[in-house]
Chain A
Amino acid sequence: MSATLWFVIRRTLQVIPVVLAIAALNFLLLHLAPGDAADIIAAQSGGASAEFTAELRRSFGLDLPLYQQFFVYIGRLLTFDLGFSNVQHRPVFDLIAERVPATLLLMVVSIGFALLIGVALGIISAMRHRSWVDSVVSVIALLVYATPQFWLGLMLIVLFSIMFGTLPSGGMMTIATDMSVWERAVDIGRHLILPSITLALFYVAVYARLMRASMLEIYTFDFVTTARAKGLSETRVGLVHAASNALLPVITLAGVQVGHLLGGSILIETVFGWPGLGRLVFDALLQRDLNLLLGILFISSIVVVLANLAVDLLYGFLDPRIVHQ
């Protein structure tokens, strides 16, 4: 137990330098960029005097030497202060916080959908190995791997929103303001269908393939042979013995792919006008909203680090050999 505890502590401590490195990298990269928030505000106002811009720069602390700005930045991070968005005139933390629910909703629904369908397809493909089902799933997976996600989203809009007119093409809810809670939930659900399918489809393919491969591998193990020898039905062998064991790598992968999912959601949120974090990244970037970008990149990298940590710890508990490595 103490070895496990020691492993947890050590593994958690290892996260700190990574987090610091991420902060440093983000900070340096973004400061390499020409132009700053003071220029942007001056421009939005249809132009301003040089003194006006200089005054803005001074009041935002953008005239300090770079290393001082960095220390200010790190110091703030330690108190969970992500700074103030000079373009949006609001605290970065608030801006991120209000976008998180939308992105979280989209990501959770997509991942859930992808796991459910992907795992199911994987199990069927493995159990009906080399059947037509298996082939169809493989071909679809190949096609999905080759399809740009955002383009798929556009084509789904063309099909379901423009041609059939059954689903909304963008946004998160209808404009009408007089809706009951239930109507609102249904409304959001309808808006969620296309973006979440678009985002999920790639992962459906990934999980189906992985689930299939990992089940086929488990089929070669002794305990499966034993189970079969005991006369258990093939369905029981497949579902209970093989599938439950094959699930672990799939869930692990889902944890590791959080960063990938976040990247995909930038494009998907842009296509569907989904008011989430991914869109905020892009908007912040175009407006060169340094503090906001730093905040978002920092938070999203932290999320990835934590997801990886969780996966590692999970493995540590399940496979004690790793602890002693």
Chain B
Amino acid sequence: MLKSVNSIAFAATILTLTAGTALAQSCPKTGGTLTYVYHPEPTALSTIATSAVPVAIISTKIYESLLSYEGADMKPKPSLAESWTISDDKLTYTFKLRHDVKWHDGKPFTAEDVKFSVEKIIRPYHSRGKVYFGDVASIDTPEPYTGVFKLKDPVPFFMNVFQPGEAPIMPKHAFDGVDLSTAGAVRKADIMQKPIGTGPFRFKEWRKGSDIILERNPDYWHKGHPCLDQVVLRVLPDGAARAIAVETGEVDLAPMSGLPEAEILRLSKLPQLETSKAGAEALGPNMWLEVNMREKPLSDVKVRQAISLVLDREKIVDVIWYGQGTPARGPIVSANPTYFNKALKPYEYNPKKANALLDEAGYKRDADGVRFKMTQNFLPYGENWVRLAEYVRQELGKVGIVVETQSLDLGGWLKAIYTDWNFNITSTFSHNYSDPSIGVERTFTSSNIKKGATFTNSMGYKNARVDELFAKAAREMDPKARKAQFDEIQQILHNDLPVIFLVELSYTHVWNKRVHGLITNGISMYSSWDSVWKD
């Protein structure tokens, strides 16, 4: 029943498999509390307020969407919708909803809630709402348990978007009296702090700075589920303290690389713990150096290739990220089971060749051995990014590129990179998400050269062929043709290096072996956990 699960999670998989198909119907064991540890603390309990990692983990236990997903390739499964039909022209999606679903406050769930959530909340206020539902012409509710989505144009990834974190269905009645015309009012709504969902767990208590407790939803539509009585989030700011809590069994799980990499490495050797990089394939974090291509010398592809040649990706993974990652080959991560282009060659580490390329490009060393000077910024997300910046400065210095590092906090960094375009190179990372049209396109098409939009084409990269291919792929309903389009895009970007692709980061989860059934799909930590159980 599980597909494409990484080898590290294999033991867990076997256990789940031996439990057999019966698992779908009943829990091997019920009861118990799953405690997981994470920092920072969520700022809200809804991904509408922000889809930051801590918020997405906890709120996906409370809210559901129309579908759930199975396997790394995200095969759609029923959730709030028990069945669906797609018209031949791929423009009409009809979802039949469950009749037996109640909100946590006891009120019945209907198609009105779906229509309301998508039209009034998700599309305007979820950060990717317009990408997902921008092509929806109308949502009809012919009867209380049917929702019909009519699209203006076909959207090949439409069945991917109904994830609990990306398209959470919210109760219409909870927004009575809320001004829905401004983001501020929606964000301040009570429900953002005191959620009412349909999911397997409902909100019980939030002790700020300490923990959030969710309890079993006794009226959950999936009879006999969830298996657990409680899900508890403990917020521990200190990384070492989090690791100790996992090690001693005080907590059961540290999801989404919630521990310092050095500690993950240490804990992975302990017999009572399981460590897995699987279960985040539909997020696909990819780290690179964004290059401002508007000016010389970085506008020269030879210079970018030279920079790529002096950075040892293996070393970056091993030393800076303590092995928690894979050298990147292009814009789509290699863990993507559908679209990764296997023909891409690994990037070479060859400083000699880099020197030759730089000479060839006309940037000869001066008397001091300096070819040119530039500045670099780094993503202010913590220690590793500082280490990376130090490494980049060091290695580029060896081939005569003098780099000055500028340290900005997040606000300043975002403004410099995405609003002012005032930078030479910067480290950053971006998520592939469940489809390249959602997560990859925004960085590389010329239409995404937009001042003020964060995590877009800050490089000023314009390639007509890439633009054309992305535009086609966004509408292409033939999977084979679509794969070919993405393959070509990957090859072009691999050679053009509008960003210096460095490392596919891993979201590593560490859990106690007494917990079972965590890794189920490409968004395992953003799934409902209704079948997760504990010895």
A and B touch in their complex, CB below 8 angstroms: yes
Question: Among the listed B49, B237, B414, B456, which residue makes an inter-chain contact with A89, where contact means beta carbons less than 8 Å apart?
Answer: B49
Do residues A43 and B455 form an inter-chain contact, with CB atoms below 8 A?
yes
Do residues A176 and B409 form an inter-chain contact, with CB atoms below 8 A?
no
Measured between beta carbons, the chain B residues less than 8 angstroms from A50 are: 450-453
Let me know if A21 is at the binding interface, CB within 8 A: no
Do residues A40 and B453 form an inter-chain contact, with CB atoms below 8 A?
no
Let me know if A135 is at the binding interface, CB within 8 A: no
Min distance, Cβ B94 to any Cβ of chain A, angstroms: 29
A205 vs B153: C-alpha distance when bound (angstroms): 74
Do residues A87 and B455 form an inter-chain contact, with CB atoms below 8 A?
no
Let me know if B6 is at the binding interface, CB within 8 A: no
Do residues B250 and A176 form an inter-chain contact, with CB atoms below 8 A?
yes
Do residues B455 and A40 form an inter-chain contact, with CB atoms below 8 A?
no
Measured between beta carbons, the chain B residues less than 8 angstroms from A47 are: 127, 430, 442, 453-456
Given contacts A39-B419, A44-B52, A171-B236, contact A286 B380 (CB under 8 A): yes
Min distance, Cβ A184 to any Cβ of chain B, angstroms: 12
Let me know if A84 is at the binding interface, CB within 8 A: yes
Let me know if B318 is at the binding interface, CB within 8 A: no
As a 0/1 sequence over residues 50 to 61 of chain A, the CB contacts with chain B under 8 angstroms (1 = contact) are 101111101110
Min distance, Cβ A76 to any Cβ of chain B, angstroms: 15
Given contacts A89-B43, A273-B241, contact A43 B414 (CB under 8 A): yes
Please report the total number of A residues contacting B with Cβ < 8 Å. 52
Let me know if A190 is at the binding interface, CB within 8 A: no
CB interface residues, B 221-253, toward A, < 8 Å: 232, 234, 236-238, 240-241, 244-245, 250-251
Measured between beta carbons, the chain A residues less than 8 angstroms from B182 are: 55, 58-59
Let me know if B9 is at the binding interface, CB within 8 A: no
As a 0/1 sequence over residues 282 to 316 of chain A, the CB contacts with chain B under 8 angstroms (1 = contact) are 01011110000000000000000000000000000
Chain A, residue nearest B187 (CB) = A89
CB interface residues, B 263-299, toward A, < 8 Å: none
Do residues A279 and B127 form an inter-chain contact, with CB atoms below 8 A?
no
Do residues B238 and A170 form an inter-chain contact, with CB atoms below 8 A?
yes
Do residues B456 and A288 form an inter-chain contact, with CB atoms below 8 A?
no
Measured between beta carbons, the chain A residues less than 8 angstroms from B433 are: 46
Do residues B241 and A87 form an inter-chain contact, with CB atoms below 8 A?
no
Do residues B411 and A46 form an inter-chain contact, with CB atoms below 8 A?
no
Let me know if B178 is at the binding interface, CB within 8 A: no
Measured between beta carbons, the chain A residues less than 8 angstroms from B454 are: 39, 42-43, 47-48, 53
Size bracket, chain B contacts = 35 or more
The stretch that binds B, out of A8-16, A28-36, A106-114, A115-123, is A28-36
Question: Among the listed B51, B185, B409, which residue makes an inter-chain contact with A286, where contact means beta carbons less than 8 Å apart?
Answer: B409
Min distance, Cβ B111 to any Cβ of chain A, angstroms: 27
Let me know if A248 is at the binding interface, CB within 8 A: no
Do residues B127 and A275 form an inter-chain contact, with CB atoms below 8 A?
no
Let me know if A169 is at the binding interface, CB within 8 A: yes
Question: Among the listed A35, A53, A102, which residue makes an inter-chain contact with B453, where contact means beta carbons less than 8 Å apart?
Answer: A53
A58 vs B95: C-alpha distance when bound (angstroms): 36
CB interface residues, B 430-466, toward A, < 8 Å: 430-431, 433, 442, 450-456
Measured between beta carbons, the chain A residues less than 8 angstroms from B50 are: 41, 44-45, 89
Measured between beta carbons, the chain B residues less than 8 angstroms from A170 are: 236-238, 240-241
Do residues B241 and A39 form an inter-chain contact, with CB atoms below 8 A?
no
Measured between beta carbons, the chain A residues less than 8 angstroms from B244 are: 169
Do residues B452 and A53 form an inter-chain contact, with CB atoms below 8 A?
yes
Min distance, Cβ B444 to any Cβ of chain A, angstroms: 13
Let me know if B362 is at the binding interface, CB within 8 A: no
Do residues A169 and B43 form an inter-chain contact, with CB atoms below 8 A?
no
Let me know if B8 is at the binding interface, CB within 8 A: no
Measured between beta carbons, the chain B residues less than 8 angstroms from A41 are: 50
Do residues A40 and B410 form an inter-chain contact, with CB atoms below 8 A?
yes
As a 0/1 sequence over residues 31 to 66 of chain B, the CB contacts with chain A under 8 angstroms (1 = contact) are 000010000100110000111100000000000000
Let me know if B413 is at the binding interface, CB within 8 A: yes
Most buried by A among B187, B234, B416: B187
Measured between beta carbons, the chain B residues less than 8 angstroms from A39 are: 410-411, 414-415, 418-419, 454
Let me know if B338 is at the binding interface, CB within 8 A: no
Question: Among the listed A34, A59, A171, which residue makes an inter-chain contact with B415, where contact means beta carbons less than 8 Å apart?
Answer: A34
A285 vs B412: C-alpha distance when bound (angstroms): 11
Known pairs A46-B127, A89-B44; list 15 more (Cβ under 8 Å): A34-B412, A34-B416, A35-B413, A41-B50, A43-B455, A47-B453, A49-B450, A50-B453, A102-B209, A170-B241, A177-B211, A272-B238, A283-B40, A286-B409, A288-B409
Q: Which residues of B contact A (CB under 8 A)?
A: 35, 40, 43-44, 49-52, 126-128, 130, 182-185, 187-188, 192-193, 208-211, 232, 234, 236-238, 240-241, 244-245, 250-251, 380, 408-416, 418-420, 430-431, 433, 442, 450-456
9 A-B residue pairings within 8 Å (CB atoms) = A39-B419, A42-B127, A45-B50, A47-B453, A47-B455, A50-B453, A60-B184, A171-B237, A272-B238
Q: Which residues of A contact B (CB under 8 A)?
A: 33-37, 39-50, 52-56, 58-60, 84, 87-90, 98-99, 102, 168-177, 272-273, 275, 279, 283, 285-288
